[in-house]
Structure 1
């Protein structure tokens, strides 16, 4: 294998949503650097960071009946009972929720936690509070999905954060999706909430690091039982 082939194989792909930002950063770097040489290197570093932010690495999704997979890279910031957003239309009773906070250094490509039919896609405008705060689930701009697995439904909510200003969703109602398949992206710091049937016992803990498309959040095929509400203290 040649050096060029080795470097190409080692490179992490950039998601198509990121290419316009990479182009803008690169052009700005060249233009500004032409007039102020030291700023060229700063701009080049920034362009590299933009490439890093929009990286879209390959993931190997576990296969198994009832497995719910993390939809995002990041850290678990909440595990416990909470009411799902009304626009999801999955009931008013508290459900088990796992929240995953993504900082600006995490990969922001979101992946489906389960396979099934998308029966609901609902966007709601809102604020841009720190996504790590629990109230961000209620107050912030968000986009929610409901995935019907046949015998149960899973809710997934993309939540904009303090820096994030754009939620991107690639799927529509009525489409089928596989576990681990890309369904959206949030730009520059955000959070994902996953809502399970009440009684689901999560297999993750507060502060645990998640890998989108790979980390198992819960196994719905195992016996379920009520779990206490826990909130991470910053």
Structure 2
């Protein structure tokens, strides 16, 4: 099990605190920081994923639960009628984000905002968020990382003009959060509200031939 580098300081600090409490106070005093160290190790995990070898597949950018699937009248980047899939990530889900398809990043936009619970319908408009637009030459999509009530930092490992492969890691949202994917109308959505999805593995849509 890999751990993303952003988790090292959290795990290290909790581990040092647990060790110090054990040595200088008592074994009981080490329980809380020890549990925190275990939680941070669990939270910042980056498990290996098997990415579908299918050029028509749009994969989930995150682990979590599908909160909604809706139509969008227009999108400035995707253009025309679109479909949006919203995925909620609890603190128990893997929080690294993956690219839904192969393509080049042609849009990157960070927006400051509030920190409302990530399951609220309005968080995509009110909360802190980071959006990338991916273009593969034939179609465009957007993926938006949205902070939640506990998430206080959105981490991006990519920038404009970077090329991503399907399922490639591109970022992280620290603690409970939400991810939105907007795809053009020529994509058949294969998930529905309430479905559990796995980042990089679950196919959430297929491009119509």
Q: What TM-score comes out, normalization by structure 1 length?
A: 0.84
For residues 4-46 of structure 1, give each alpha carbon's deviation from its aligned partner in whole angstroms, at most 9, with x where no partner exists: xxxxxxxx11111111111111112223332243120222121
2:113 maps to which residue?
Answer: 126
Question: Which residue in 2 is equivalent to 1:137?
Answer: 124
How many equivalent residue pairs? 208
Q: Distance in 1 between matches of 2:208 and 2:101?
A: 13
Structure that is richer in strand per residue? 2
Q: 1:158 aligns with which of 145, 153, 157?
A: 145
Contact map agreement 1:84 1:195 (CA 8 A) in 2: no
Structure 1 residue 183 displacement after superposition:
0.2
Cα contact 2:85–2:182 (8 A) shared by 1:
yes
Which residue is 1:26 aligned to? 15
Q: Judge conservation of contact 1:96–1:199 (CA < 8 Å) in 2.
A: no
Residue by residue over 1:110-139, the C-alpha shift from the partner in whole angstroms, topping out at 9 and shown as x without a partner, is 010000111111100001111111100111
Q: Which residue of 1 aligns with 2:197?
A: 210
In the alignment, is residue 90 of structure 1 matched against residue 77 of structure 2?
Answer: yes
Matched with 1:81 is: 71
Deviation at 1:93, TM superposition (A): 5.5
After the TM superposition, list the runs of 4 or more consecutive aligned residues in structure 1 that deviate by more than 3 angstroms.
Answer: 82-85, 91-94
CA contact (8 A) 1:65 1:221 kept: no
In 1, Cα distance between equivalents of 2:80 and 2:117? 26
The Cα offsets for residues 72-92 of structure 1, whole Å up to 9 and x where unpaired, read as 00000010123678xxx4167
**1:180 aligned residue (167, 171, 174):** 167
Structure 1 residue 200: deviation in Å? 3.0
Going from structure 1 to structure 2, the CA distance change for 1:91 and 1:68 (only over 3 Å counts) comes to closer
Cα distance in 2, alignment partners of residues 66 and 92 from structure 1? 19
Q: Which residue of 1 aligns with 2:32?
A: 42
TM-superposition CA deviations, 1:197-223 (whole Å, max 9, x none): 13532100111101000000100134x
User: 1:200 — aligned with what?
Assistant: 187
For 1:131 and 1:160, how far apart are their aligned partners in 2?
A: 7
- SS of 1:156's equivalent? strand
71 and 84 in structure 1: CA distance in 2 versus 1, 3 angstrom threshold: farther
TM-score by structure 2 length?
0.94
What corresponds to 1:13 in structure 2?
2
Task: Say if 2:100 and 2:167, in contact at 8 Å, map to a contact too.
Answer: yes
Q: Which runs of 5+ in 1 are unaligned?
A: 1-11, 223-234
| Partner SS, residue 2 of structure 2 | coil
> Structure 1's 116 and 69: CA in aligned 2 closer, same or farther, altered over 3 A?
same
SS in 2 for 1:24: helix
Relative distance call for 1:92 and 1:147 in structure 2 (3 A) is closer
Root-mean-square deviation over aligned CA pairs: 1.7
Residues 142 and 38 (structure 1), Cα distance of their counterparts in 2 relative to 1, 3 Å cut:
same
